[in-house]
Amino acid sequence: MTTLRSVILGCGSALPARVLSNQELAAKVETSDEWIVQRTGIRQRHIAADGEFTSDLAIQAAKAALANAHVDPQTIDLIVLGTSTPDNTFPATAVTVQAGLGITRGAAFDLQAVCSGFVYALSITDGLLRTGTYTRALVIGAETFSRILDWKDRTTCVLFGDGAGAVVLEAQQQPGEKDDRGILTTHLRSDGRHKSKLYVDGGPSSTMTVGHLRMEGRAVFKHAVAMITDVIEDAFRATGYTASDIDWFVPHQANKRIIDDSAHKLGIAPEKVVITVDQHGNTSAASIPLALNVAIRDGRIKKGDLVLLEAMGGGFTWGSALVRW
């Protein structure tokens, strides 16, 4: 019996031109390249220029994904944008992207799950496509986190960067078997008891300001590995696959130590792990599609590969997606 699956047709990304190295940061705050690399694996990050908005990066990434998929923008009837740094309090940045692509049909909205935003957006979009309500969608993760950083706080300002990534999804009939192409399963979680461990100290309702990112780094690290492995084990149980079946593991790019520890705990071989945190830093909702695009462009991820995605972010939120490319 056939089943409707959300198949990824193409991927694209966008990064600001400006690159900020660890050495440059060390001239501004009390830190060093060695300290940052040893604790995070980050060597550089991209920073949006003045007047360069989240929507600008999202539109660039969307155009690249559409070109990669050989898809006309006018066939897109759904846009879901994961972001914590929208252009405006309202309307949704997704409608700016919709207009920027010249699309006047369907629906577009933002989704806020911080660093888990892309996985959440992928899961929600998958559900909407499988109902048959929509046929082709853009799922985007885009951020300008540099705008919410306290550049005097060395524990956070060294971690984050700006960027965007996007994928084109299409609802397609598949045989309904284990090796179907498309999104095979997604698993989302949240636990609001941990809000104070990673948050922004501002907002329209509370302070009437944008605020700055605040984080209890050790607490986040402590919870991250357990939460990440939890939803991945759920994905394995749902599909019957195991770690040895995975061709590529594309995790949220927050910290190389978290990525390494998670892969080790799950039994995923290091050579199957896609890592871009050294070049991009933590780009929140953009990190997974940025990493996906790198691995597609360099030829690692190919059609038919089994790709495991996972993310964890403020809230806490966390989630996984298992995709047959």
| Catalytic residue IDs | 115, 252, 282
124 Cβ neighbours under 8 A, 6+ residues apart:
80, 111
Within 13 Å and on the Cβ side, how many CA atoms surround 158?
A: 28
Closest CA to 78 of 60, 57, 92, 64: 92
Q: Which two tokens stand for residue 144?
A: 């300008």
> CA 68 to CA 72: how far, in whole Å?
11
Run of H or E residues at 19: strand 18-21
108 Cβ neighbours under 8 A, 6+ residues apart:
78, 79, 80, 81, 92, 94, 95, 97, 98
Q: Which two tokens stand for residue 7?
A: 């198949």
CA distances from 12 to 20, 33, 59, 168, 226 (A): 22, 30, 10, 9, 30
